[in-house]
Amino acid sequence: MFASSVVLFDKIMSCCSLQLPAPTLSHRRGGGGGGSSFQCSALPPTNSGTLLFPLFLEMGITEKGSHALLENHQALKLAPFDFVRTQIHALQNLGINGPLLSRLIQKRPHVLVSPEIHSLLCFLSHDLKGVIQEPQLARLLTATDPRYLSGFEPKVRLLLDAGIPINRLSHVLNNLNLTKALCLKPLQDIQKMLSFVKGFGGVDLILGRPAILNCDLDSQLVPRIEFLLDLSGGDELATTTVLLKLPFILAYSVDHYTSHVDFFRSYAGLTDEEIFKIILVYPSLFSASRTRKLQPRIEFLKQCGFSSKDIYKLLIKAPLFLSLSFEDNLAHKLVLLLKIGYEHGTKELGLAMGWVCRTSCKNMQEVISLLLNYGLTCEEILAMGKKHPQVLQYNHKSMKQKLDYLTQEMGYEVREMLAFPAFLGYGFDGRIKYRFESSGKISGEGMSINKLFSMSTARFSKKQEKQLPASS
């Protein structure tokens, strides 16, 4: 291989466009007088060796390391000095400098003599300068046999032709194992992969998780997507929605999918259709540990008297219940619910735990404090929660604005809300304030808040029209 590389040096140098000035060597050693140049008694007296030795020292490679490079790598001695210098300048031009450069050269000296690497560096310098980050480029050059670098340019161009925007190419290339995703895969295999994922989000899927391109098409990507497609009942649009919501889902194996789905089938009694609908809402379901999170949570719901149908309904609305930390989140909320009167083993407690997953512990505490400050008792707060479990998840600042308006502007008692706690979930300006002011100007005094705010927009508009005075 080295012999064939040497034959190509002259031809490459004649067309090389990276003609950069030689580095200035400020570091010198030796005796007095005018200062002597480096002497390398262990090296054969070749011109390249004599010139490369001080160059390596200037780059930060130790004297011992420089000797070893030139003694143990025949290709370096045979390579024209100008070619090696050009390779070094090309690497520096792409941001590989200092310790990163010296480590690369000591680990993979062939980067200074390989024609394939020369061609790659020319391509990157002319067309993709700054696109591949320096550590990523160093990993590519360290991990990849030069023979596999010759197809790098056409494979990158294939990604662009497939629709990857040029301004997102850096994001893609720097989040890949370039050796695995591009260099070792034949061009035809990459084309097949791009064609396959085109039906399931294509470019958007790749941009969401570039590491998808690291996968093997036949043994990894196709089986994983087909598993989700089968679970969906063959619904390609729904499957694509899941993939685009959480492209990371494709990092899991089919065995991992199967384990989670079998758990929900057997332990929670859910059908495949129900399981997929939960996944459609919350693809991160597959990120939750079966033993640490899924099984204890489903067991809790069963102890609260939930049937399979109840479990499904709660998980569709509050899937975060499956993945939130128990110690840092759910345990604190459970204590608060028990303090205001919820009982262990009741369906009301299970429903409340589902709904409070949508709020923080701090906000939940603020809501309870706010209602207590307005004169409500824990028993009344509990009754509100049982009637309308969402009440404890509402933002406490928004809730205070509505309660102030209810009691100060509308003139209602705060306990009027106990019969209709859903009032606290309506928008303030668009529904509460607008409807009260509109009704008040006509004949809205004395109307219950349930009747005023629960009627549909169409019915409310009709009621207004009827009450408007006839035009003269």
Burial 99-120 (b: 16+ CB within 10 A, else e): eebbebbbebbbbbbbbbbbbb
Residue 181's pLDDT is 97
Residue 48's pLDDT is 63
pTM: 0.78
Residue 466's pLDDT is 64
Q: Per the structure, how many domains does the chain have?
A: 2
- Assigned domain for 220 exists: no
Vertex 53 angle, CA 47 and 56, to 5°: 135
- Assigned domain for 181 exists: no
Domain region containing 438: 426-472
End residue of a domain, out of 148, 176, 200: 148
Measured CA distances, 54 to 22, 39, 93, 360 (Å)? 13, 9, 20, 63
Tokens encoding 61 = 């490679």
Calpha distance 471→316 (Å, rounded): 51
Calpha distance 89→18 (Å, rounded): 8
- Assigned domain for 456 exists: yes
Residue 467's pLDDT is 60
- Assigned domain for 90 exists: yes
- Assigned domain for 161 exists: no
- Assigned domain for 398 exists: no
Calpha distance 294→285 (Å, rounded): 9
**42-47, long-range: CB < 8 A, 24+ apart:** 42/67, 42/71, 43/67, 43/70, 43/71, 44/77, 46/77, 47/81
End residue of a domain, out of 101, 116, 148: 148
What SS3 string covers the chain? CHHHHHHHHHHHHHHCCCCCCCCCCCCCCCCCCCCCCCCCCCCCCCHHHHHHHHHHHHCCCCHHHHHHHHHHCHHHHHCCHHHHHHHHHHHHHCCCCHHHHHHHHHHCHHHHCCHHHHHHHHHHHHHCCCCCCHHHHHHHHHHCCHHHHCCHHHHHHHHHHCCCCHHHHHHHHCCCCHHHHHHCCCHHHHHHHHHHHHHHCHHHHHHHCHHHHHCCHHHHHHHHHHHHHHHCCCCHHHHHHHHHHCHHHHHCCHHHHHHHHHHHHHCCCCCHHHHHHHHHHCHHHHHCCHHHHHHHHHHHHHHCCCCHHHHHHHHHHCHHHHCCCHHHHHHHHHHHHHHCCCCCCCHHHHHHHHHHHHCCHHHHHHHHHHHHHCCCCHHHHHHHHHHCHHHHHCCHHHHHHHHHHHHHHCCCCHHHHHHCHHHHHCCHHHHHHHHHHHHHHHCCCCCCHHHHHHCCHHHHHHHHHHHCCCCC
Tokens encoding 158 = 């294939």
- Assigned domain for 117 exists: yes
Contact indicator for 100, 110 with CB cutoff of 8 Å: no
Q: What is the pLDDT along the chain (472 residues), one digit of tens a residue?
A: 433 443 333 443 344 433 333 333 333 333 333 333 323 333 333 446 678 888 888 888 888 988 888 888 888 888 888 899 999 999 999 999 999 999 999 999 999 999 999 999 999 999 999 999 999 999 999 999 999 998 999 999 999 999 999 999 999 999 999 999 999 999 999 999 999 999 999 999 999 999 999 999 999 999 999 999 999 999 999 999 999 999 999 999 999 999 999 999 999 999 999 999 999 999 999 999 999 999 999 999 999 999 999 999 999 999 999 999 999 999 999 999 999 999 999 999 999 999 999 999 999 999 999 999 999 999 999 999 999 988 999 999 999 999 999 899 888 889 888 888 988 988 988 888 888 887 764 444 556 788 778 777 777 777 666 665 544 4
End residue of a domain, out of 128, 148, 168: 148
- Assigned domain for 37 exists: yes
